[in-house]
Amino acid sequence: DISGFGPIPTSRKPTVSSDLYNLVYISNPTQRLNNEGLKTLLEECRRFNAAHGLTGVLLYDGTLFMQCLEGSQAAVTALMSRIAGDPRHKNVATIEEGPIQRRSFADWYMGCSRVGRDRMLRLETATWQRHRAGLPGGQPGAGLTLMSQCWDEFQRSAAAL
């Protein structure tokens, strides 16, 4: 069971930074993860993210990861370099990145949910802003907005892991 992971306690939430940045990527796992494998990955991610002031959400449909990372630009890009070199990932592609005004997933060092293939396909084919630097005020694009809505639905339905 991987349902025992709740949001970040208020006393431990990351501090606000003027250098907030996010990055959304997709990748294929090199091996399918069962619940135990996903739980192990999440525990590792949450420890790392808590130590580096990162938040975000990981969605997994059994064949594809989609993850949003939020934090300082230095921390986000350093973690993305680690992920790109991690043998558990292949076909890593950044689909959105840029400065942001606020975190979309501030309550989660790493929220996670399994999603159906149809939901993942909707997210994959959404309009993503490859580089948002030109958007006024670092506003989220349509893809990130859809990802946030998807996460909100999962939280309300108690599907969040």
Collapsing DSSP to helix, strand or coil, 25 comes out as strand
- The per-residue pLDDT for range 3-25, each reduced to its tens digit, is 334 555 444 555 555 689 999 99
- The per-residue pLDDT for range 98-151, each reduced to its tens digit, is 888 889 899 889 888 888 899 999 898 888 865 555 555 556 678 888 888 888
- The per-residue pLDDT for range 66-111, each reduced to its tens digit, is 999 999 999 999 999 999 999 989 999 999 988 888 898 998 898 8
Entry pTM:
0.83
Tokens of 29: 């796992």
* Residues forming a β-bridge with 96: 24
Q: CA-based diameter of the chain, in Å?
A: 43
User: How far is residue 31 from each of residues 61, 63, 92, measured CA to CA in Å?
Assistant: 13, 9, 14
Identity of the residue numbered 26: I
- What DSSP designation does 109 have? S
